[in-house]
Amino acid sequence: MKNKKFLPHVSALIAMFIWGGSYVWSSQVFKVLQPGTTVLLRLIISSIFLILINLALHRPIKIARKDIGLFFVAATLEPFLYFIGESYGLMRVSPTICSAIVATIPLFVPFAAFFILRERISGWNILGLVVSFIGILFMLVNKNMQLTASLSGILFLFGAVIVAVCYGIALKKLTNRYHALTIVTVQNSIGILYFLFFVLLVERNQLGSLAQVDRYIVQILLLGILASSISYVLYTHAVAKLGVTRSNVYTNLIPIFTAFFSYFLIREQITGMKATGIAIVIFGLILSQLKFKTSTTP
């Protein structure tokens, strides 16, 4: 029983570690491919991988007719709209700053979860989220308290944050009816259709860059198999067991993992402000888990 209670937390932690690396991998691929094309390749790889896993597990992919619309809504939010905002934001800011903004998701989720899902949160959770947000601000400014990121990049990323909050609500409804593997497989397959049209409409002039994709094939495979497949299954499992609010608290760890990957893979400098922000984020995460209780009311 203890292992079962612990497993969702481990699943969320591993998912955040993988997503922390995904910002660095994506920034590398963007040197030769546009964001939409990158995500399209990522989703194709992911869908093939997930379908093979379903076949190996003898798990048929079946969804009720009444839920088809909900699946399309979920896929419209994520992967489509979320990755548009995240990817175009990542092109304008560093991976660490990008992940720091995405980490603000938990600040908005409790309000949406309370009004829509009636999930209650404790005062410790609210305090932890506020402290974590302060830590994120430290990562966004320099010692002169000046913003160190592109304003357009920040707007793209906060757009992704709003989408992610809405997606969390739709995802919670799906987790009540379907296995995590089924949800991710279906939504990524639908996402391929969205991004195929997007690439043909917006990025078709850049398709010649596909000839250079071999330079970053490892990063694309990591994005497709780890970031768009395994991590989403793990996160979906966490949402099903912990709820939207508690699962999203772990998003605060993404900037820490991204800073780690950025330093070792692309030699991004970790300034004193960023290091301070990382420490505050960790402290906020610890606070948010103290005496944490949630309940769902009809």
Check whether 114 has a pLDDT greater than 90. Answer: no
Model pLDDT, residue 121: 66
Q: What tens digit of pLDDT does each residue of 236-268 get?
A: 888 888 877 678 778 778 888 998 899 898 887
CA-closest candidate to residue 46, choices 232, 231, 229? 229
Model pLDDT, residue 293: 44
Mean pLDDT of 27-40: 93
Q: What tens digit of pLDDT does each residue of 79-109 get?
A: 999 999 999 999 998 898 888 888 777 777 7
CA angle, residues 167, 116, 287, in degrees to nearest 5: 80
Q: What tens digit of pLDDT does each residue of 127-166 get?
A: 877 887 788 778 777 666 677 678 899 899 999 999 988 8
Model pLDDT, residue 3: 56
Token pair 């760890």: residue: 253
User: Residue 291: pLDDT band by 50, 70, 90 thresholds?
Assistant: low
Phi, psi values for residue 119, rounded to 5°? -80, 130
Highest-pLDDT range among 5-9, 152-156, 291-295: 152-156
* Dihedral over alpha carbons 279, 95, 44, 61 (to 10 degrees): 20
Take residue 139 and report the two structure tokens written for it: 């990562």
Give percent of the chain above pLDDT 90. Answer: 42
Helices 180-202 and 151-175 cross at an angle (nearest 10°) of 140
Q: pTM, whole model, 2 decimals? A: 0.82
Report the alpha-carbon distance of residue 212 to residue 262 in Å, rounded. Answer: 23
Model pLDDT, residue 113: 67
Report the alpha-carbon distance of residue 196 to residue 211 in Å, rounded. Answer: 18
Model pLDDT, residue 292: 43
